[in-house]
A = this chain, B = another copy of it.
Amino acid sequence: MIIGDNLTDLDIFFKPKSVAVIGASRNPERVGHIILKRMIEIEYPGKLYPVNPKAEKILGIKCYSSVEEIPDEIYLAVIALRADLTPSALEESAKKGAKGAIVISGGFSEIGNYGLEAQLLSIAKKYGIRIIGPNCLGVFDPKNKIDTLFLPKEVIPRPRAGEVSIITQSGSLGSTLLTMIRKEGRGLSKFISYGNRIDVDEGDLVSYLSEDNDTKVIAAYIEGVIDGRKFMDTIRSASAKKPVVVLKGGRTASGDRAVKSHTGSLAGRSDIFEAAVKQSRGIIVGTLDEFMDVPAALSTQPPMYGDKVAVLTNGGGFGILAVDALEMRGFKVTPPSSELMRKLKEILPLYYPVSNPTDLTGDSTPEQFLDAGLAIVESCEYDALFLIPLLGVPGMVPEKTESMLIQLVKSSNIPIVATAVPTTPNVEEVLHKMEKKGLPIYPTPERAASSLYGLRQYGKMRDTSPIEHF
């Protein structure tokens, strides 16, 4: 979708009517080439203007020797030039009407070049143009078809469109997150690597994403914030609308030292940062897996409003590890009432162990998962359902499992998460389909339990009065 002239605020970075790629190159290894190529590949629907004084055409598109020379107004400038050439490119873009610029180029404050960064900022203020960067990957938005990441898709394949948006202070971490999301069959709404954030910062982005209808969950990798109060206020107001998941890099003393050397951020005391995020109702996660896993649950499942979990498995050992992982995270894996027990025994073969976990054994079928799952959900005895449908047994026909479990998810008013192992490419594909249709699936019981913990945290925050202040 292109909004064009009615752009508000940061929309310009995701829905620009035209994009100038300044520093576009014929050399396939150059950043300016890769960005232009990605914009073509992703089928960016607006007008593309490559700018390079030495080329007539790049990738089949007419090239302009300068921004000035472009015959039309431009909306967004993507600048991939040597650092010292960026201020004039920015100014020319602003004069040409650009409302936003993504400065990909590095060579600024991260190597001590503060003066150049100040120059960019003063141009931005003068013309009212917003800047993402410098020293960043920029944005990837599969729905609006924008991709300024200078990573060929052959090197970093992109994930599908989805409902989680990620902002990341680290580009390299960000680029591998794309791989991780894709490998789990998950999707992404917007991805923003914002680099040195001389203008648009984490607070602006969280605020923008909180209003974005395509974003159901915001996930932020933060090493340090420039304006702590603004960031916490933003998290607080965003969290009233949708979950905000935060992974803080530099939580330990040595990690904090590493942050200072990496982005020059003054991280401040990490325990205070994390406490402030929690008080602002953000959800703190502690590992890279959780940073991917928790949003996947939050984007498809309702919040969890109590501590009781029912485990439904067809693998005894997996069931036990799930129970351990759940109880270690404070959940209660209590046996069903005699009423529910009776109902489950009615539904299932006599020799199936019915309790919590209920073990559907190697003889399990997708129908049994559906029927037993529905009985558990309808009993209203549990606050979440934890499924372990292992597809390695003959009865668990993958396609049938998919339709039955999705039916179960759709019929449920409590959150459902699953652990399943992609044993073969076919099974993996089916698991990805289920993930896409709304059942979050994790390869280990511990990761599924951590994600449920995220749903519980969000449930607790929603239970608290929204006007509470500190």
Q: Tell me the nearest residue of chain B to A175, going by C-beta.
A: B392
Contact A422 to B179, CB < 8 A, known contacts A172-B390, A262-B353, A355-B261: yes
In the complex, chain B residues whose CB is within 8 Å of the CB of A421: 176, 179-180
Q: Are A356 and B180 in contact (CB under 8 A)?
A: no
- In the assembled complex, A380 has its CB within 8 A of some CB on chain B: no
Chain A interface size, under 10 / 10 to 19 / 20 to 34 / 35 or more: 35 or more
In the complex, chain B residues whose CB is within 8 Å of the CB of A25: none
Bound form: Cα–Cα A315–B168 in Å: 13
Bound form: Cα–Cα A250–B421 in Å: 21
Q: Which of B154, B171, B362 contacts A424, CB < 8 Å?
A: B154
In the complex, chain B residues whose CB is within 8 Å of the CB of A176: 315, 318, 390, 392, 421, 423
Q: Are A288 and B445 in contact (CB under 8 A)?
A: yes
Contact with B along A202-241 (1 / 0, CB 8 A): 0000000000000000000101000000000000000000
Q: Which of B173, B289, B314, B445 contacts A172, CB < 8 Å?
A: B314
Bound form: Cα–Cα A318–B259 in Å: 11
- In the assembled complex, A3 has its CB within 8 A of some CB on chain B: no
Q: Are A249 and B324 in contact (CB under 8 A)?
A: yes
In the complex, chain B residues whose CB is within 8 Å of the CB of A443: 180
In the complex, chain B residues whose CB is within 8 Å of the CB of A351: 111
Separation in Å of the A456 CB from the closest CB of chain B?
16
Q: Are A392 and B151 in contact (CB under 8 A)?
A: yes
Nearest 10 CB-CB pairings of A with B: A170-B317, A173-B317, A172-B315, A252-B327, A255-B324, A262-B316, A254-B333, A249-B320, A176-B421, A255-B323
Contacts A111-B351, A172-B317, A258-B333 supplied; 16 other A-B pairs, CB < 8 Å? A151-B392, A157-B423, A172-B316, A172-B318, A173-B316, A176-B421, A180-B421, A250-B323, A251-B324, A254-B323, A254-B334, A257-B355, A258-B356, A288-B444, A289-B444, A289-B446
The interface of chain A, by Cβ under 8 A from chain B, is 29, 111, 151, 154-157, 168-176, 179-180, 183, 221, 223, 249-255, 257-259, 261-263, 287-289, 314-321, 323-328, 332-335, 351, 353, 355-357, 359, 362, 390, 392, 394, 421-424, 443-446
